[in-house]
């Protein structure tokens, strides 16, 4: 049978509210960070990225904040919509020649209509 997976942290918000998803990364030498969205049955989909020489970057309805001092990333989604319901992963590039991308645990965002 299938293995029992870990319970993902879950954020439940009302449609129209703002969402904030947090992530702690592990490698202080990482210099590039990406947020991915994963819908059921699909691969990770790029949302927004940020490099270590920045502390904030904005996209359409999304903002990523980077705090290198405490190795923390956050993803803010404005006016959350039902279509935003998915698992969100932060990922960090370990750098070097391999461009190895390491994913965090993930947060399930549930948008209530």
**At closest approach, how far in Å is the CB of 100 from another protein?**
6
Going from the C-alpha of 62 to that of each of 46, 67, 79, the distances in angstroms are: 12, 17, 10
Q: Is 47 left (phi over 0), alpha (psi -120 to 50) or beta?
A: alpha
**At closest approach, how far in Å is the CB of 110 from another protein?**
15
CA dihedral for 75, 111, 106, 42, sign (positive or negative): negative
Give the number of residues in contact with another protein, rule: CB under 8 A: 30
**Chain residues 31-90 in contact with another protein, contact rule CB under 8 A:** 32, 34, 36, 38, 41-46, 49, 89
Say how far apart CA 62 and CA 76 lie, in whole Å: 5
Nearest to another protein of 30, 106 (CB atom): 106
> Which residues contact another protein by CB under 8 A?
2-8, 32, 34, 36, 38, 41-46, 49, 89, 91, 97-106
């Amino acid at each position: 049978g299938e293995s029992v997976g870990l319970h993902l942290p879950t954020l439940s918000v009302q449609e129209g509210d703002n969402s904030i998803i947090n992530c702690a990364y592990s490698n202080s030498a990482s210099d590039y960070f990406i947020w991915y969205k994963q819908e059921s049955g699909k691969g990770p989909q790029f949302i927004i990225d940020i490099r270590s020489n920045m502390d904030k970057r904005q996209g359409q309805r999304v903002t990523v904040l980077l705090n290198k001092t405490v190795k923390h990333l956050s993803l803010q989604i404005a006016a959350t919509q039902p279509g935003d319901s998915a698992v969100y992963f932060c990922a960090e590039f370990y750098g070097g020649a391999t461009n190895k991308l390491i994913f965090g645990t993930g947060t399930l965002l549930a948008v209530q209509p």
